[in-house]
Chain A
């Protein structure tokens, strides 16, 4: 399966600032997803990012807070804007070829701490 390089792996940020997380895939993928994972919890989908169109956000997540770019089929970014301590979490990007019979593969995650 494809490999996703996600960076940064971790960061400590001041409240009120923004952080951009990057994911680079070693092959073209149709769909990319961004998740948030609170400590000890499951994955919560933030948005689906498709190339050439705006991201589709899940309930509770908005573009102003989590702008996403998907300029091509191998790259995507998620920005966490105007951060507060409540944004401290692990952020994961995922890719899939878009068919249900292919699995999703994941980046290593970004552990974000907002102080």
Chain B
């Protein structure tokens, strides 16, 4: 069965420091991979997505993610975080043979230290 693991429930980084949020998935075929961000009291906003092609994808707000098939990972990175990046981040996997339903990770809460 498909699954998504975000091993870090919380991550605390200093403003200006680099960030990496981990995401591992389990799926037999090539997945469609997404990162979403949810600010407090808000809906979910797409940061970036991977379907095929270049395994390093660029997203909004200076985020990028790299698909590594050998590691079944799709980690999210940002070279320098801003206080406004404090939010909950969700990794999700979709697939054609699951009627395009998204399987969601548990989320990682990002806390920014001033």
With A41-B107, A42-B104, A48-B101: A100-B95 Cβ-Cβ less than 8 Å: yes
Chain A residues, Cβ within 8 Å of B41: 109, 111
Q: Are A101 and B105 in contact (CB under 8 A)?
A: no
Q: Are A41 and B100 in contact (CB under 8 A)?
A: no
- Interface stretch, picked from B11-19, B42-50, B66-74, is B42-50
A19 touches B (CB below 8 Å): no
Q: Are B101 and A42 in contact (CB under 8 A)?
A: no
Q: Which of B95, B102, B106 contacts A104 (CB 8 A)?
A: B102
A15: shortest Cβ distance to chain B, in Å? 24
Q: Which of B42, B46, B101, B105 contacts A108 (CB 8 A)?
A: B42
Q: Are B46 and A105 in contact (CB under 8 A)?
A: yes
How far apart sit A86 and B96, CA to CA, in the bound complex (Å)? Answer: 33
Q: Are A92 and B95 in contact (CB under 8 A)?
A: no
Chain B count of residues within 8 A CB distance of the other chain: 22
With A103-B49, A109-B43: A45-B101 Cβ-Cβ less than 8 Å: yes
- B residues neighboring A (CB under 8 Å): 32, 34, 41-46, 49, 51, 90, 94-96, 99-102, 104-107
The 4 closest A-B pairs by CB, nearest first: A106-B43, A108-B43, A106-B44, A100-B32
- A residues neighboring B (CB under 8 Å): 1, 4, 6, 31, 33, 41-43, 45, 48, 92, 94, 96, 98-101, 103-109, 111
6 pairs of residues in contact across A and B, judged by CB atoms under 8 Å: A33-B102, A42-B104, A42-B107, A100-B32, A100-B96, A100-B100
18 other A-B residue contacts (CB within 8 Å) besides A42-B104, A43-B44, A48-B101? A4-B43, A41-B107, A42-B90, A42-B106, A43-B90, A43-B104, A92-B43, A92-B44, A94-B44, A99-B100, A100-B32, A101-B32, A101-B51, A104-B94, A107-B43, A108-B42, A109-B41, A109-B42
